Chains A and B, each alone.
Chain A
Amino acid sequence: NAGVTQTPKFQVLKTGQSMTLQCAQDMNHNSMYWYRQDPGMGLRLIYYSASEGTTDKGEVPNGYNVSRLNKREFSLRLESAAPSQTSVYFCASSLRGSAFNQPQHFGDGTRLSIL
């Protein structure tokens, strides 16, 4: 029972490099989310997808793009990495959106450092 799987778990990039963070869920959930977690700032929503084929910006979308490839997979891309994007990135999914009081299930995160 894998739940939400994120790859890679760790990554170090140089400024200006690009990278795609992968996320897959096996719970047949409709909604998927990308967050970043920084010390003292909690979890901030980058992008979310309410269903396959739809995406919407969250609180901190600048410098990121997303693709909802299918119902299972939701990827996050950094086109030109900056040191300010050093963070722990979490993917989450829920059966339906939070408006329906559905819990979000999180992966174990990708720890990304940008030098």
Chain B
Amino acid sequence: QQQVKQSPQSLIVQKGGISIINCAYENTAFDYFPWYQQFPGKGPALLIAIRPDVSEKKEGRFTISFNKSAKQFSLHIMDSQPGDSATYFCAATHTDKLIFGTGTRLQVFP
């Protein structure tokens, strides 16, 4: 069974702090690693994605760090804001089918 393991399950951060969510995978054939953000009552939406030929990708306050040898990747949210409070899913694939992690519920308090 292909899996993507995500941690932590929940995360509480103060406004202005750094939120870090980690994911690990086993299948070395995976070649696309997106992160999705989901607000309550809504469907997930693509936040940022990376391919394994780069070690880091940054878009605004959101950064993906990728460690191919360790088969791990992580999402860093700099200067976390209350509006970032949501559930975050990592995912991976090398086919048409995305394999999602189990999700991290992030709460950012003022």
Contact = CB atoms under 8 A, between A and B. Distances in A.
Interface of A: 4, 31, 40-45, 48, 50, 58, 90, 92, 97-99, 101, 103-109
Interface in B24-78: 32, 34, 41-46, 49, 51
Contacts, number: 59
26 contacts: A4-B43, A31-B96, A41-B102, A42-B6, A42-B89, A42-B102, A43-B44, A43-B98, A43-B100, A45-B97, A45-B98, A48-B96, A50-B96, A58-B97, A98-B93, A98-B95, A98-B96, A98-B98, A99-B32, A99-B94, A101-B49, A104-B46, A105-B46, A106-B43, A109-B41, A109-B42
Contacts of A109: 41-43
Contacts of A108: 41-43
Interface of B: 6, 9, 32, 34, 41-46, 49, 51, 89, 93-98, 100-103
A40 B9 contact: yes
A103 B47 CA distance: 10
